[in-house]
Amino acid sequence: MANDDERLERLQGMLRQRGILLPAFDLYGGAKGFYDFGPVGGRLRSRLNQVWIDHWLSLGNIVEISCPTVTPYEVLEASGHVGEFSDFMTVCGQCDEASRADTLLEAHHPNPDALSQSELQSLLTKVNPDCPSCPTPEWSPVVAQNLMFSTTIGAGSSGRPGFMRPETAQGMFTSFPALYRHFRERLPFGAIQVGKGYRNEISPRQGMIRLREFNMAELEYFIDPNERPNHDFSSWSSHEICLIDGDGVSHSMTLQHAAESGLIRHPTVGFFMGKTFDFLSSVGIDGTRVRFRQHASDEMAHYASDCWDVEIHGSYGWIECVGIAHRGCYDLEAHETATGKSLRARREFSEPKIREIDGWTIDGGVAGPAFRADAGQVKTIVESFDADVEFPVEVTLSDGRNLAVAAEHVKRVQKTVKETGEWFIPHVVEPAFGIDRILWHVLDHAFEETEKGGEPYRMLKLADSVAPIDVAILPLFEKDGMDDLALELHQLCCSTSGLVSLYDGSGSIGKRYARSDEIGVPICITVDHQSVEDRTVTIRKRDDGSQTRMSMDQLPFL
Amino acid sequence: MANDDERLERLQGMLRQRGILLPAFDLYGGAKGFYDFGPVGGRLRSRLNQVWIDHWLSLGNIVEISCPTVTPYEVLEASGHVGEFSDFMTVCGQCDEASRADTLLEAHHPNPDALSQSELQSLLTKVNPDCPSCPTPEWSPVVAQNLMFSTTIGAGSSGRPGFMRPETAQGMFTSFPALYRHFRERLPFGAIQVGKGYRNEISPRQGMIRLREFNMAELEYFIDPNERPNHDFSSWSSHEICLIDGDGVSHSMTLQHAAESGLIRHPTVGFFMGKTFDFLSSVGIDGTRVRFRQHASDEMAHYASDCWDVEIHGSYGWIECVGIAHRGCYDLEAHETATGKSLRARREFSEPKIREIDGWTIDGGVAGPAFRADAGQVKTIVESFDADVEFPVEVTLSDGRNLAVAAEHVKRVQKTVKETGEWFIPHVVEPAFGIDRILWHVLDHAFEETEKGGEPYRMLKLADSVAPIDVAILPLFEKDGMDDLALELHQLCCSTSGLVSLYDGSGSIGKRYARSDEIGVPICITVDHQSVEDRTVTIRKRDDGSQTRMSMDQLPFL
């Protein structure tokens, strides 16, 4: 473990020194929970995002959208975030440092984040844990602290409360009408969004794992719960993956088997698990360090019917990097309820249904004047009554008021209707990706420590798909025309679409190779004296150190 | 003008209906100043961003970075935004609606946004302008309202104030040390960042032109002010552009001529004006509707030595979409001053300079104990004195305190030093792009209204580089194998890297062509009865409506 911690420190030091990941606002003493993607890390991040986008767009029924990060209060109240997106906090009266109560109690309980507010309070009072910032802790009562960054939209008295979004998902839900129209009212379809999410952590730790501002990538895939999808699992048929079920039991089986046996409860969840595995492999995550962990029923949100975490193993142990959840109709229904607007899809019956109606409706001429603005609600309630109800009946409105509906307000309805289809709230399967956590593990898995000439030697064996610099152009010396030729080649690379080249003329060629290896450049091209004569250059490959001489006018990637 | 307004309304309606641009949070009654990029617009936005990034990266000495949007107070205090990023506001006491004072006075003054707070107050009192929201205005005193969204980082008493960034630029400035290291301490170099910026407008209007949350793209290019850059203007040598100088006089001349004549005051500013024109052309902006307008000296920030707005003409008239400013050393110096950390580059002299020093320094043994923490500051001040100063001298520290420096605190210094180079604060040239405004004009310029069969017909003639959907696959009917073949072709397109395909099987073929034209799809492929027999399909081009039959196995873009 000590070894691992030292490796982690060396990796972090290298990432910082090489301009890959740096603590943000470092000039100003830093701000916990914020990172910069530096001159090398910036493109790593944008390439990773792009691979993710292309991966999902290639399914053919998925579109990319982009919604604001500033979000009005009402939207996040409907989604449940105002009420439930919180951690339990306590503040040390001696040093004013806020801490998560469960974090303080980690040494005193096997699973403190499952404790309720009162359980946390009792345990805190009992053990009086150490304060991370001062020697004499004095803990305030445990309170629920909402984790959204709050702000005000507009100024003065016309300002209204808002938050920075805690996830990108809500944008896809509130865009449902536009999506449904775009896809010509045919399920299934999905929408993806890549962007910032915000979580005002009480006390961030673990570097890139727990950030206050993070890069998210989410897919919301809308399905008809009555249709059994027919996904093709064949590309994973020879691959047994590690699945840990809700009881903590580990299984090694193929995705198809897991879906057929019922361990994975919906085929679309299983299909997205496979697609997620493919994505992670394509950006360089080591597949042997990936596992899928099913939520236990008491761990899962009450509305979810199945949820799998995709965990990746690295310097911090097993870390949840992706969550794949079957969310039922929860989200669309919540926004329907809050706004009164329909977020439904239509399903046509294979043959029309004939339905005998024998019940009640309101008599508009009497009920309208009697109930005024409530008449619509009363109508809905009355139409849900059986034929044998006896009036007057006391009904309860959505705001809790009671009204008496008398016989004069209603009339009997008896008719036969032919229905060709029906409206329903689509269900949603959501794969949600923490891009920073994945990016961290891409770096962690790519980081290789060896020795060269008795000295420690470090490299990043990044996948070509995400390597931030595609090629480094190195003149052996910056004289005798080597620099000019190297710059000519550099400009040629730069003008090739999608190719990023680094010109580096400073220091010994060995040091420049080492630096290129540390930032994961797959190919170095060296321009030497001979190059000036015959325009041949040396191609050096990062991963095996092999060197090949070839004409600079016939480079395969140009 | 009425015609233009109607065209604008039709365009906005189409963009909304077709899922390109939609008012955000529409389900919840909307929120002024926020837009969604919908199922079609999302990819338009991300492609535009990518073209922008590739355009600048191709210069060869520019890198992409990404910094947080949540920013601590201190950073934006140093940059000047806490003090100066504000508009003058007044609130109507009758209806509580906040308004910009200058906007209210537009009908009463030719240029109200140039007025001071007291001038605005006098004019407001004098004319008592209409309130946009109620019939009986009652204006509160004019106050300066800061336009940043404010928030709190962290919770409870450990929380510290912060803002959502008003621009991406500060991230490049605070990253200067990492950039300087990455570029091996050699100027010039640049860093770009694409991302969200925030401006809590008092009263947003004009759709995409004035948003509260917007997409920005900025380049900060760091140069040595002593080096005269040698930019290549040849690619614009035959192109005269429209330049309006600081006095409002219009010129038509080439960029090279403008730079040589001194109208453009720095060659790098001129070079970036050319590169900006190229970028705008490459995404479909009509070059004849672009002009460059120089800031008058009283319009320019005090630190800037030249500033040009790139204005694009569209439905809202001439709109500033890009600003290209020579910012001098202002930004790096401000962060140096605030943090006490060096943000400098080193310049080697062509030959060493011999300098005779005859002056003073502190006597550490006496001055150290006497001035303690202030000793360093006193040393700097004393070393700036001429040799003939007479002690004691009263000096003023940066916080305003005065100290007496006596003869015993100092000693004479007389020596000869050889200096091989010096440290200096690089200057910055900044092209700053408002992506939403550019995207708006891309749509505006691409929008073409014609007639077909006596009916109005609308299309978006988008450039291929930004078209959100590359190809639409249309089965003539969804039966007899045409649907299967169309889906096969759709899947093939989807699995082609970077290609986005839309399958559309609903409605008449004419209606589907029309819909494709409205979302700017360059190519439609129709699968008909003959296709099922011989695998030939019809390729229809958006811009000329031409139709060609070819084998679906030999499509040029697959």
DSSP B236-294: GTT--EEEE-TTS-EEEE-HHHHHHHTSSSSHHHHHHHHHHHHHHHHTT--GGGEEEEE
CATH number of A2-69+165-330+430-435: 3.30.930.10
Superfamily for B469-554?
A: Anticodon-binding domain (3.40.50.800)
Environment class of B328 (CB within 10 Å of its CB; exposed 0-12, middle 13-18, buried 19+):
buried
Beta strands in A329-387 (DSSP E): 345-362
Residue indicated by tokens 């947080």: B68
- How far apart are the C-alpha atoms of A472 and A520, rounded to whole Å? 10
Chain Cα centroid distance, residue B415: 50
Q: Which of B463, B439, B175, B234 is nearest to B322 (CA)?
A: B439
Which of residues 166 through 195 in chain A touch B, CB cutoff 8 A?
171, 174-175, 177-179, 181-186, 191, 193
Tokens 């080249």 sit at which residue?
Answer: A501
Q: Are A500 and B71 a contacting pair at CB < 8 A?
A: no
CA distances (Å), origin B490, targets A279, A435, B487, B532, B548: 21, 29, 5, 15, 18
Nearest to A96 among B57, B74, B158 (CB): B158
Fold of the CATH domain A88-145: Herpes Virus-1 (3.30.40)
Any idea where the domains of chain B sit in the sequence? Answer: 87-146, 349-420, 469-554
Q: Select from B37, B38, B196 the Cβ nearest to the Cβ of A69.
A: B196
Q: Output the CA angle A479-A481-A487, nearest 5 degrees.
A: 95
> Is pLDDT above 90 for B168?
yes
Per-residue pLDDT of B128-150, as tens digits, reads: 999 988 998 999 999 999 999 99
pLDDT at residue B397, as a whole number: 86
CB neighbourhood size of B14 (10 A): 19
Whether A335 and chain B come into contact, CB under 8 Å, resolves to yes
Interface subset of A 489-528, CB within 8 angstroms of B: 490-491, 494-495, 497-498, 500-501, 503-507
The verdict on a CB contact (< 8 Å) between A98 and B156 is yes
Percent of chain B predicted with pLDDT > 90: 83
Token representation of residue B558: 């697959």
Residue B34 at interface with chain A, using a CB cutoff of 8 Å: yes
**Type of residue at A62:** I
Q: At what angle do helices B41-57 and B435-446 cross, to 10 degrees?
A: 110
| Whole-number Å distance between alpha carbons of B455 and B443 | 22
Which of residues 107 through 166 in chain B touch A, CB cutoff 8 A?
145, 149-160, 162, 164
Judged by CB atoms closer than 8 Å, whether chains meet at B25 and A500 is answered as no
Contact criterion met (CB below 8 Å) for A420 and A351: no
Residues of chain B found within 8 Å of residue A63, distances taken between Cβ atoms: 39-40, 42-43
| Facing residue for B24 by CB, picked from A67, A193, A504 | A67
In which element (H, E) is residue B484 found?
Answer: helix B482-494
Q: What pLDDT does residue A2 have?
A: 54
Assess if CATH 3.30.40.230 describes domain B87-146. yes
Average pLDDT rounded to a whole number, residues B195-217: 93
Q: What confidence tier does B2 reach under pLDDT thresholds 50, 70, 90? A: low
Mean pLDDT (chain B, rounded)? 94
Please tell me the distance from the alpha carbon of residue B519 to that of residue B533, in angstroms, as a whole number: 31
* Nearest-by-CA chain A residue for B25: A174
Taking an 8 Å cut-off on Cβ atoms, the answer to whether A174 and B71 are in contact is no
- pLDDT of B1 higher than 50: no
Looking at the complex, report in whole angstroms how far the Cα of residue A231 sits from the nearest Cα belonging to chain B: 14
On whether the CB atoms of residues B154 and B160 are closer than 8 A, the answer is: yes
**B172 contact residues in A (CB cutoff 8 A):** none
Query: Is residue B255 predicted with pLDDT exceeding 90?
Result: yes
CB contact under 8 A, B68 and A36: yes
| Interface touch B64/A46, C-beta < 8 Å | yes
Closest Cα partner for B71 from B1, B161, B186, B7?
B161
Which ipTM score applies to this complex? Answer: 0.91
Going by C-alpha positions, the residue among A168, A140, A197 that lies closest to residue A67 is: A168
- Which residues of chain A register pLDDT less than 50? 1
List the single range of A108-117, B78-87, B294-303, B320-329 with lowest mean pLDDT.
B294-303
Cβ atoms of A275 and A241 within 8 Å: the answer is: no
Backbone region of residue B96 per phi and psi (left: phi > 0; alpha: psi in -120 to 50; beta: other values): left
Å between B186 CA and nearest CA of chain A = 10
Query: Residue length, chain A?
Result: 558
